[in-house]
Structure 1
Amino acid sequence: MSDCSTIRASAPGSIMLMGEHAVLRGARAIACAVDSYIHLTLIPREDRQVSIQSALGAYSATLDQLPESDDLSFVVTAIRHWAGQLPAGLDLRIESEFSHTVGLGSSAAVVAALTVALDRFAGTDMSREQQFDAALRVIHAVQNGRGSGTDLAASLYGGLIAYRVEPRELRPLQGLPPLSLWYVGYKMKTPAVLALVEQRSQRFPMLYAGLDRLMADCCAQAEAAIDSSDWDALGELMNIYQGLMDALGVNDANLSELIYRLRAEQGNRGAKISGSGLGDCVVVLGQKAPDNLAYQQIPVAVSARGAVVEL
């Protein structure tokens, strides 16, 4: 265990640039950490009590009995997974620079920050890959095994990455031109969207398998475009991928309006849904904003920094 009385940790939010849905079936996804962070402060106790303070709610229990919490499910599940290795209870305060309602991967970011903090508190000295495995187990426990871990990888490692689930690959990529992000005003939870796509795919399995292959090819070409700094090609590929997301059934009228308004602005090279779809955010390769657009713009820039712990 650390001999310091307070452990502070932070992790960046993240956005998906390419690879939504297809990453679950073998494609490489492209994601990046962004310069909006989750911060937490962990203070060890002399007893086995656990106290959590967050904008999402408060929680109190002991390491020996950690009942579930709907509002703090990721946090409580993470502590439950670590309980046997922790030397004592803890007071935990969580603060966020962004709302959990927008698509910046808040759940993955808080699990990333908490994992590096608990690793330090327990004195387990995990490698980054071991931290990733531990954090992904937490996410899967909450989401009934669903989730690729792409947003988690971006939050833990930072920067712009290409990521594959199995066999696991994580490759840092060079930077991007400026991006912009727009929130449509609502979102469906990712597990619910994934379940809906699974249900629909059972009706036309060959067609959906074909969409997966096209998405995988699109991601591979986008990765090559980034490597060669071909930003016009990357923008075109983002638009193509958006068409595949539409065919997958995760687009809606408001997202379409937002995407086409943003694409129409001179200087914006491409625009697509960022995340699982049926709400949430649109990512734009460019920063031109239309007049009188009735949606929220979220300031973002790529962050090179991943999850870090400070004593």
Structure 2
Amino acid sequence: MKTIGQGHASGKIILMGEHAVVYGEPAIAFPFSGTGITTTVHFHHGNESWIESSFYHGPLAKAPHSMKNVTVLLWQLIRQFAISKPFYVTIESTVPAERGMGSSAAVAVSITRAFFDWLELPSNQEDILLFVNQAEKVAHGNPSGIDAATISGTEPLLYQKGLDFQPFQLNMDAFLVVADTGHKGQTRKAVKDVATLMETSRLETGGRIRQLGQLTKQAQQAISLNQPDVLGACMNRAQIHLQALGTSNYALDHLIETAIANHALGAKLTGGGRGGCMIALAENEERGRRLQQILLDAGARDTWIEGLGVYAHV
């Protein structure tokens, strides 16, 4: 056993296909290293195990219900590896919570990796997911698994209900800018309202859902062929459908329109919508950095940037 174990996990971004994925259409997600969570673990000299994080600092046994996904995971690790002495876990995060960037899955991946490192146990993605998926069930009830699979891996994934995750490589000379509106996303409400639309306006809503699926497939092809302009156009068209489904809001629309007005190749919401984050495609790093500042000036709480070339993910 090492003196200190450490584990890291990135956030994640849904590039295309949110909401449509609920109805059997494909979605694309990928690890986003612009944000991340680092966990360290070591033996604690006190009488009980402790957690230190921005949400809570205190004994594991007294952690609040809002951290149940974390505490369930820690007790699971204790039982699985027969850890008999108290430990001290420190969680440091730059992944904003409730913004559609996979914060719950990221914290679970980072904690699990930290324990495997501490105990000097070899691990692969399958080993990590055995623990992470349990924590995600606590956090989300019946998760699709795309957050856990994306964050525990290194490649983008194409996900479609009933099919295996399909990893593929990023191959694009462009940069993705992510901006936080500063408002919590309302995924459950948005999903419920889209379901209502499917009941009350099935023909139109179903058509938009299918269009979002087609745009996701076109986006994947654009990525493989290194066609940033085509990907940007897919993003713009997807946003039109997402707006029509009622999943956007003023804060998202404002930042998206600002990005387009300042030479973004494309821009759209990411995740459940009704708050949370938007994404914009920039043709190079210089324009991406400039776009970050423009979005901050326009009211974004925070921004991040990441290259979409293979070199950025090796």
Q: Structure 1 regions of 5+ residues with no counterpart?
A: 306-311
Q: Among 103, 107, 127, which residue is 2:104 paired with?
A: 107
Q: Choose 5-14 or 147-156, whichever is displaced more.
A: 147-156
Indicate conservation of the 8 Å contact 1:149/1:165, yes or no: no
C-alpha separation between the residues in 2 aligned to 1:87 and 1:158? 30
Q: Among 147, 150, 157, which residue is 1:154 paired with?
A: 150
2:140 paired with 1:143: yes
Q: Among 56, 64, 69, which residue is 2:64 paired with?
A: 69
Give aligned-pair identity as a percent.
Answer: 24
C-alpha separation between the residues in 2 aligned to 1:46 and 1:168? 45
Indicate conservation of the 8 Å contact 1:85/1:122, yes or no: no
Deviation at 1:105, TM superposition (A): 2.4
The letter for the 1-side match of 2:40 is T
Alignment partner, residue 220 of structure 2: 223
Normalised to the residue count of structure 2, the TM-score between the two structures is 0.82
C-alpha separation between the residues in 2 aligned to 1:34 and 1:279? 19
Indicate conservation of the 8 Å contact 2:171/2:224, yes or no: no
Alignment partner, residue 26 of structure 1: 24
Q: Structure 2 regions of 5+ residues with no counterpart?
A: 283-287
Alignment partner, residue 78 of structure 1: 73
User: Superposition pairs for residues 274-293 of structure 1, below 5 Å?
Assistant: 274-286=270-282, 287=288, 288-289=290-291, 290=294, 292-293=297-298
Normalised to the residue count of structure 1, the TM-score between the two structures is 0.83
Alignment partner, residue 131 of structure 1: 128
1:159-178 Cα deviation digits (max 9, x unpaired): 43333453222312223311
C-alpha separation between the residues in 2 aligned to 1:39 and 1:237? 34
1:102-131 Cα deviation digits (max 9, x unpaired): 553222211111222344567775531342
Bigger fraction of residues in strand: 1
Alignment partner, residue 304 of structure 1: 313
2:9 paired with 1:4: no
C-alpha separation between the residues in 1 aligned to 2:89 and 2:153? 23
Q: Among 232, 238, 242, which residue is 1:241 paired with?
A: 238
Bigger fraction of residues in helix: 2
Indicate conservation of the 8 Å contact 1:225/1:234, yes or no: yes
Indicate conservation of the 8 Å contact 1:8/1:41, yes or no: yes
Higher relative contact order (CA 8 A, sep 6+): 1
User: 1:185 is paired with a residue of what secondary structure?
Assistant: coil
Q: Among 198, 203, 216, which residue is 2:200 paired with?
A: 203
1:22-74 Cα deviation digits (max 9, x unpaired): 22333332222223221111114589833111011124245xxxx77344233
Indicate conservation of the 8 Å contact 1:115/1:134, yes or no: yes
Q: Among 81, 88, 91, which residue is 1:91 paired with?
A: 88
